[in-house]
Amino acid sequence: MKIVVCVKETIDTAASLSLQDGSVFWGDASLIINPWDEFAVETALLLTEEHGGEVVALSAGGGEKNEALKHALAMGCKEAIQLSAPEDMQEKTPVVPSMLAAAVQKIGDVDLVFFGRQSTDEETGLTPPQTARLLNWPALTQTAKVIAHDPQGQTIEVERLFENGRQQAKAALPAVVSVVKEICEPRYPSFMGIRKAARAIIPKWELSDLELSSTVDSAWRSLRLDVPASRTKKVEMISGESAADIAGTLVKRLLEEKVL
Amino acid sequence: MAENILVYLDCFSGEVSPASWEAVGAAQSVKSEAGKINAVLLGPRAQEHADAAFEYGVDEVYCCDDASLGGFSAESYTTQLAALIKVNEPDLILLPGNVRTRDLAAMLAVDTQSCVIPDAVGLDWENAAVVTRPVHGGKFLQKLQAEKAPCIVVLRSRVFTVPERDETRTGTPKTLDLVDAPAAYEVLGFTPVEGEIPLTEASIIVAGGRGVTQPASLNAPDNLESDEEKEAWLAQEGYKIVRKLAETLGGAIGASRAIVDPGYVPYQYQVGQTGKVVSPDLYFALGISGAIQHLAGMQSAKTIVAINKDPEAPIFKHAQFGIVGDVFEIVPKLIEALQER
Amino acid sequence: MDFELNEEQQMVARMVRDYVTKEVAPTIKEWDRKQEMDPQVLPRMAELGILGVSLPVRYGGQGMDYMSLGLVCEELEAGDTSLRVVISVHMGLCCYAILQWGSEEQKLKYLPPLAMGEKIGGYCLTEPDAGSDPAALVSTARRDGDDYIINGEKMWISLATKADYMIWIARTDPEAKKRSGGMSAFILETDSPGVTSGDIHGKLGVRAGSTGWVNCQDVRVPAANLLGEEGEGFKIAMSCLDNGRYTVAAGATGLIRASLEASVRYAKERHTFGVPIAHHQLIQQKLAWMARDYEAARLLYLKAGWRKNQGLRNTRETGLAKWYATDASFKAASEAVQVHGGYGFSDEYEVERFLRNARGAVIYEGSSEIQQILQAGYALGYREDRPLRKELPPYDPDEWTREE
């Protein structure tokens, strides 16, 4: 069985970010694997540990040393592939899904493509369903549990988390799956994995190496980035002689401010 | 301004979500004088809601209530919508935001080769859609302009206004022919979340964090052996105070990552950057310290009330009302005071 | 000179930091209050390979270098000193004693279970009346047929009640002319009849750790467990300190960092006189000192680790690093409490634990006073390190990662 996990290099969510020349600036904060992608890698590894096969980590963009791919290798992925992305890839859609879909086809014989449900930087969540649509494979997004995986019968059954309930769905392979955090607990990279990842030479595929199925047009233009206006009012601390006193004051204030 | 706007009304749960009407309101804000707002309803109970759609100001309502649309699949819904879009040629397509509609919008953009922008908190028009959306956990707001028509925009809940409802306004819905397409997958079943208000739609949320896991006056029962089991029992007992306050207020319950990760509360209740992003009118943060990643999930709440033992907890910098104290002392009194009103 | 850590080393540090942040930090305060070691710590560190991180793969280890060991200690102690103490005694003092002085049979017998964390290692040198002056120790080991019979009591022993194997230093030749002569080192299996141990509570710091005493009453140890040769026990004991001190130095560096990070966070949030206290110069001064000492301590221990990698004698360097880092960590933790004001005095915040933990490191593994005497000795030329009969093996990536 061959599983491809798409991972993205993102900025550590604890980093303090600022705007410089209209772009996001993260100083010397670390670049890491998109946190949701760790869950995707773990799920893929668990499936191959159970049924045999290997996991290939795939990433579009990222720096010279793509931290997401390194981390995926250190967790236990067999190999990693980096796709060289154009500078303005965010603005050209669906570039990334097109590249990923084309890469999956170039890799060949892929049974499953895993994604984390979205990235912590752009947070669009568009890549998994778009990649699936371009591949014309079912998109089992928001998967919280793999109920059954039948490598012989070539099907997968999952439970998906919607806001108002859970859907149980079954699809024929090959399929695309995006996962939510509930699905598992990602393992730490092992030291052996770390050594392997540090020594790995990750192949880089250019756009010209891929047969893109979709026209790559500029679909939107970023006008500006702003820091949201912060609330100027300071917090009103409520104190009192007793808990009942404090509670009473809070209710009074909430009514006065027409919050309740 | 936009001439022809198509609004997707989400009736998957049987009822049309309030966020769908907000989408109609958003459409009205960018529609030209002579422009049209059309709506589409897909699913077994589609026809039931056509009347309401007209009352909220929609000009044409398209319905397809084929049984095959009962179980949601973004693929089949996309095929239906893409066919309608080909005929209707809207310059703007709006959807109320949730995980299903986001998938739908994503795939629709591929099929119709259009531009898609999710999670909009602002919508304008300057020859094309201009959308504002939060990025990097809400640290920044990005303003984007579509360069292609149509533009598909997915709107965040509880941001746009529901339009006035005019009960005298009527119309006749048009039936959409089902476009035949093989099912992408088999829907085996659906388990709704019983009787609970989805976090993203709630106007009041009571959320608990680490500070609710240790009710001081309680001891774990002796039949529990390991420390872990005892901690889990205490945490779940402690969390009950969150439920009680939510019940009293008629709100939804939430949790910070600190109590979801150890498994005390299910992940679906997690508010934060890797959980749900919410924008209620009122958010109670009980025993939550206010880490950046949690703030990213709730900082747009209109009023935040924080109760925490630690006076230096970062949450107090972002709250409108703050109480330094023990959640287990304050909240029962709060419930009493609320019940008296 | 390349001051960059390589990718492997960076990833190792990050992995341990993640483990500490996710699994230790949330509950460490409670264990510290209980004065007990979290029973999950040892099995978890074993599972993750941390207990064998810098040992050759063919002995069951993970094949990382000595600098990585230092980085691991820095990350562990930034969580809590008790975690780093485990590595100090298990890896630094016990495993490396066997790696450096053991016969191939001893290495193949004892290192794999230790490296994989199936067995826990410790080090028994200090006695109730012999701390800074280990030559004053009185424990005996008398040859009797194919065994030695060990008698004695050791105190202030980390993991006393948890270790399976202890390096035990005792007098084999009471008639020896030199005070420090006539001693030998043994690999003691603590489940041998006659071995008892107990925990010491009421310590000022490292309360989430396990410290205690170990007593041997006519304990039989096979002669095959003699480490090195009879009579070189003191030399072996002293050479072990190069490794123990190294881990203490690295760990204390992590404590400085933790103090600095806590202080920076607090200084930005707490307001006095209408501004964050980070704007006040006297607070800034404290932060500047912590930042300076962190950089300096880090360079010192990493250089010592580098020398170990090269197979270069590093007694002077590890002593220097230990002295500097531990003194600086005590100061940093103290200033961190000060920065936190009244809240620093309460255990709602972590800095008071840092201070109590830091106080111990200035005493053990060679007190600061001992270190100063040693460094003066080097500076004056009175002290010279002569080559040992056996040296700690250098780090060779191929040697250390080969399977057989």
* Number of domain units in chain B: 2
* Chain A residue numbers touching B188 (CB-CB < 8 A): 157, 168-170
Q: From the CB of residue A114, how many other CB atoms can be counted at a distance below 10 Å? A: 29
Q: Binning pLDDT at 50, 70 and 90, where does residue A123 land?
A: confident
Q: Would you state the pLDDT for residue B67? A: 86
CATH code of B252's domain: 3.40.50.1220
B194 domain-assigned? no
Cβ A186 vs Cβ A39: under 8 Å: yes
In chain C, count of helices (H) and strands (E)? 13, 10
Q: Would you state the pLDDT for residue B163? A: 93
* Chain C residue numbers touching B317 (CB-CB < 8 A): 269
Two tokens, residue C222:
């096979």
B93 domain-assigned? yes
pLDDT digits over C26-66, tens only? 889 989 999 999 999 999 999 999 999 999 999 999 999 99
**Is C195 part of the contact surface with chain A (CB cutoff 8 Å)?**
no
Please determine, for residue A91, whether its predicted confidence score (pLDDT) is greater than 70: no
**Residues of C with a known catalytic role:** 365
**Is C64 part of the contact surface with chain A (CB cutoff 8 Å)?**
yes
Distance CA B244, CA B254 (A): 12
Q: Would you state the pLDDT for residue B72? A: 87
**Whether residue B158 is found in the same domain as residue B303:** no
**Whether residue B170 is found in the same domain as residue B277:** no
CATH code of B137's domain: 3.40.50.620
* Chain C residue numbers touching A70 (CB-CB < 8 A): 7, 11
Cross-chain residue pair A214–B190, CB shorter than 8 Å: no
pLDDT digits over C190-246, tens only? 999 999 999 999 999 999 999 999 999 999 999 999 999 999 999 999 999 999 999
Q: Which of B154, B153, B11 is nearest to B72 (CA)?
A: B11
pLDDT digits over A9-68, tens only? 998 887 888 888 888 888 888 889 999 999 999 999 999 999 999 999 999 988 788 999
Q: Would you state the pLDDT for residue A231? A: 65
Q: Distances from the Cα of A40 to the Cαs of A3, A57, A113, A177, in angstroms?
A: 11, 10, 9, 9
Query: CATH top-level class for C122-231?
Result: mainly beta
Cross-chain residue pair C270–B310, CB shorter than 8 Å: no
**Structural domain that includes position B256:** 199-340
Enumerate residues 6+ apart whose C-beta is below 8 A from C324. Answer: C249, C293, C296, C297, C300
pLDDT digits over A167-200, tens only? 999 999 999 999 998 899 999 999 999 999 999 9
**Whether residue B141 is found in the same domain as residue B10:** yes
pTM (two decimals): 0.86
**Is B315 part of the contact surface with chain C (CB cutoff 8 Å)?**
no
Q: Please spell the DSSP secondary structure of B48-59, one letter per residue.
A: GGHHHHHHTT-S
Indicate the residue of B258, B310, B317 with minimum beta-carbon distance to C348. B310
**Whether residue B75 is found in the same domain as residue B126:** yes
**Is A198 part of the contact surface with chain C (CB cutoff 8 Å)?**
yes
User: In chain A, where are the structural domains located?
Assistant: 2-218, 229-260
**Is B310 part of the contact surface with chain C (CB cutoff 8 Å)?**
yes
Please determine, for residue C152, whether its predicted confidence score (pLDDT) is greater than 90: yes
B188 domain-assigned? no
* Chain B residue numbers touching C266 (CB-CB < 8 A): 312
Distance CA C257, CA C10 (A): 16
Q: pLDDT in tens for each of the 341 residues of chain B?
A: 899 999 999 998 888 988 999 999 999 999 999 999 999 999 988 999 999 999 999 999 999 988 888 888 999 999 999 999 999 999 999 999 999 999 999 999 999 988 899 999 999 998 899 999 998 888 889 999 998 778 999 999 888 999 999 999 999 999 999 888 888 999 999 998 766 778 888 889 999 999 999 887 788 888 888 878 888 889 999 999 999 999 999 899 999 998 998 889 988 899 988 888 898 999 999 999 988 889 889 988 989 999 999 888 889 988 999 999 999 999 999 999 998 87
- Name the minimum distance, in Å, from the CA of A187 to any CA of chain C: 10
B180 domain-assigned? no
Q: Would you state the pLDDT for residue B341? A: 74
User: In chain C, where are the structural domains located?
Assistant: 7-120, 122-231, 235-400
CATH superfamily of the A2-218 domain: HUPs (3.40.50.620)
CATH superfamily of the C7-120 domain: Acyl-CoA dehydrogenase/oxidase, N-terminal domain (1.10.540.10)
Please determine, for residue A92, whether its predicted confidence score (pLDDT) is greater than 80: no
Cross-chain residue pair C343–B312, CB shorter than 8 Å: yes
Share of chain C above pLDDT 70, in %: 100
Fold entry, domain C235-400: Butyryl-CoA Dehydrogenase, subunit A; domain 3 (1.20.140)
B77 domain-assigned? yes
In chain A, count of helices (H) and strands (E)? 6, 17
